[in-house]
Amino acid sequence: MDCRDKIVSEDYRSLILDFRLEGEVFPEEGELFCYREVEDPIGVLYVDKSVLPPLSASRIMYRYIPQLYGLEGFPAGGSRDFDPGPLEASGILAQQQPPLELTGRGVILAVIDTGISYENPVFRYSDGSSRILAIWDQTDQSGEPPEGYAYGTEYRQERINEALSSPDPHAIVPQRDEIGHGTALASAAAGSRIEGGAGFVGAAPDVSLVVVKLKPAKRYLRDYYMVAEDVPAYGTDDLLFAVRYAQGFAFPFLRPVVLCLGMGTSLGSHNGGSIFTDYLQSVTEQVSRTLVVGGGNQGNAAGHFRAALTEEAQRAEIRVGENSRGFLAELWGTRPASFRIGIRSPGGEVIPEVDFRTGREVDYTFVYEKTRVTLNYIRNERNTGDELIVMRFEQPSPGVWSVFVAGARTVPGAVFDIWLSPRQFIGDEIYFLMPTPEITLTMPAYVKDAVTVTSYNSENGSFFYQSGQGFSRTGEIKPDLAAPGVSISTAQGPYSGSALSAALTAGAVAQLMQWCVVEDNAPFVSGRQIRGFLSRGAREERADEYPSRQWGYGRLDMRKTFDEIAGRTL
């Protein structure tokens, strides 16, 4: 079995490593494993499941287990006619017109998602040829992968154009977007200008596109996170390679790349701090690259609970509906405080207060209920140095579950936070009875120099009730700004959600990158500086205090952004 087979096989599991495996001691490939480097020192080790212990945050370090990311856009219903309102509200349409004529010309926009309907006219030039430079389909093992990669099939522009001139395009380039999410994002961010009929135009209609169709997560990860087979979910191991591939198209000072990510997770430290987010941060620090991410749709999911950490136990109540497969919850505490916990089932059975000094994992099966609860304790989590307990509830009984948290050691101002798995993974019937709506941005929204956006309704100016809110768990300011994210016109019809806010913002960033790099006004610009430009140009409303947990520094406004930088160069 070669490395490609191991990468896609259900018999091999992935570990994300942040240290180099030296070839002389540990060759790249053996009978039970293979290793592929992302960028030194980060790599992914694929290991035969027969030689690994059961997956848990204690037996296998939390940092090395891939996270699962879910989609953050959804069909909105309503008219399919093109609505220019969100583009007008953001000042994007104004900058497509003279005198600046910023349409993303010379810029590459990378969409890492569910693929793309490449044959759609909104992804073609007026002569019918494709604006897509390349598609890497991680799900297709029939052809050659990109150079330097071990799996999937790459389709370059010449092959795509050959397909478009054929009566059966998918016989030549079989890639399809069965879900439609990636097509929706790409068209909102970069759809060509279509005249006549209902018309259409994306935020940056002249960019070149690079597309990665992500490989769905393997069954072992779905089982660990208890995600149903029919729910789209993607592992950060595949996302790492996707980001590396996409940002590799950048040609510093000449051809910039804007990366758009419209997926995320509500688990994690909520202040950055993972191998994946550390890698994303390193990308944003390079010239000619910018990352745009949505803040998620967990603001009204009742999936976050925060309370002061005191010697007296605080109770977090979780309502669980009928027939739940299970869910994960992560409890993070303020350093250097530490905590102890107990759990009570809806039927009154109690896991007594756990003394984690006796071991790092506690596994408890209730006598009168079928539920199994596993607690994984990490005293000094490597990403952050904070205390973490990962709680897995398998086949939880319906009703109210109570988690009691008390301070084993307290310090002034100490708090603890609990986050549940994302709503798209666990459904609408698992939630906190007394939730905290703040600090509900999804990872990777906390990447320091990514452009992180929340969503608002451009029709009435209101903040989108589902949108995640800031700040970070430790008080860093995120989001950066808000962008339209309700009933956005796409090639798939109207879509809503933070993924669409990210898509429109990615198109706006492509406009800015054209001005900075392609037109040589600020050729050394980095993602950090692009974030600064947009934050300074964000539009504030008098009734709100800025920076805001909902709006960041204000609403995306490309007119105001260019008013701020008019006549200036770096």
Distance CA 456, CA 505 (A): 13
Residue 357 has a pLDDT of 60
pLDDT in tens, 477-491: 999 999 999 999 999
Dig out the tokens for 377 from the structure.
Answer: 């304790």
Average pLDDT over residues 525-535: 95
**Is 520 exposed, middle or buried, given 0-12, 13-18 or 19+ CB atoms closer than 10 A?**
exposed
pLDDT band for position 277 (cuts 50, 70, 90):
very high
CB 435 within 8 A of CB 359: no
CB 510 within 8 A of CB 95: no
pLDDT in tens, 214-240: 999 999 999 999 999 999 999 999 999
CB 247 within 8 A of CB 255: no
- Using DSSP bridges, classify how beta strands 108-113 and 208-213 pair: parallel, antiparallel or unpaired: parallel
Average pLDDT over residues 72-93: 95
Element at 391 (helix H, strand E) = strand 388-394
Which residue stretches of 176-312 are H helix?
181-190, 219-225, 236-247, 275-284
pLDDT in tens, 136-169: 999 999 999 999 999 999 999 999 999 999 999 9
Distance CA 154, CA 238 (A): 15
Q: Which of 230, 179, 231 is nearest to 70 (CA)?
A: 231
CB 95 within 8 A of CB 559: yes
Q: Which of 446, 440, 404, 395 is nearest to 420 (CA)?
A: 440
Dig out the tokens for 242 from the structure.
Answer: 């996707």
Q: Which of 285, 217, 234, 294 is nearest to 260 (CA)?
A: 294
pLDDT in tens, 36-71: 999 989 999 999 999 999 898 888 889 999 999 999
Alpha carbon distances (Å) from 545 to 475, 539, 561? 16, 12, 20
348 has a pLDDT exceeding 70: yes
Mean pLDDT is lowest, of 365-369, 394-398, 437-441, 444-448, for 365-369
Residue 530 has a pLDDT of 96
Q: Which of left, alpha, beta for 88 (phi over 0: left; psi -120 to 50: alpha)?
A: alpha
Average pLDDT over residues 340-365: 84
pLDDT band for position 302 (cuts 50, 70, 90):
very high
533 has a pLDDT exceeding 50: yes
pLDDT band for position 569 (cuts 50, 70, 90):
very low
pLDDT band for position 27 (cuts 50, 70, 90):
low
pLDDT band for position 355 (cuts 50, 70, 90):
low
Distance CA 505, CA 293 (A): 9
359 has a pLDDT exceeding 90: no
Distance CA 211, CA 388 (A): 36
Distance CA 61, CA 508 (A): 39
Chain mean pLDDT for the chain: 94
pLDDT in tens, 90-101: 999 999 999 999
Residue 507 has a pLDDT of 98
Residue 173 has a pLDDT of 98
Three-state DSSP at 223 gives helix
Phi, psi of 15 (to 5 degrees): -125, 130
Residue 311 has a pLDDT of 87
Residue 279 has a pLDDT of 97
pLDDT band for position 193 (cuts 50, 70, 90):
very high
**Is 58 exposed, middle or buried, given 0-12, 13-18 or 19+ CB atoms closer than 10 A?**
middle
If one compares 383 and 475, the residue with the highest pLDDT of the two is 475
Residue 437 has a pLDDT of 97
Distance CA 196, CA 37 (A): 48
Sign of the torsion formed by the C-alpha atoms of 170, 175, 179 and 185? negative
Report long-range pairs for 243-246 (Cβ below 8 Å, ≥24 apart): 243/112, 243/279, 243/280, 243/283, 244/38, 244/39, 245/136, 245/146, 245/149, 245/210, 245/212, 246/110, 246/112, 246/210, 246/212
What spatial distance separates the first Cα and last Cα of the chain, rounded to whole Å?
A: 52
Dig out the tokens for 307 from the structure.
Answer: 């309370």
Residue 23 has a pLDDT of 63
- Four-CA torsion 542, 72, 387, 478, nearest 10 degrees: -20
Alpha carbon distances (Å) from 537 to 168, 542, 550? 47, 15, 17
Three-state DSSP at 316 gives strand
Distance CA 215, CA 314 (A): 41
Distance CA 396, CA 374 (A): 12
If one compares 328 and 545, the residue with the highest pLDDT of the two is 328
Specify the amino acid at residue 301: A
What is the chain's length? 570
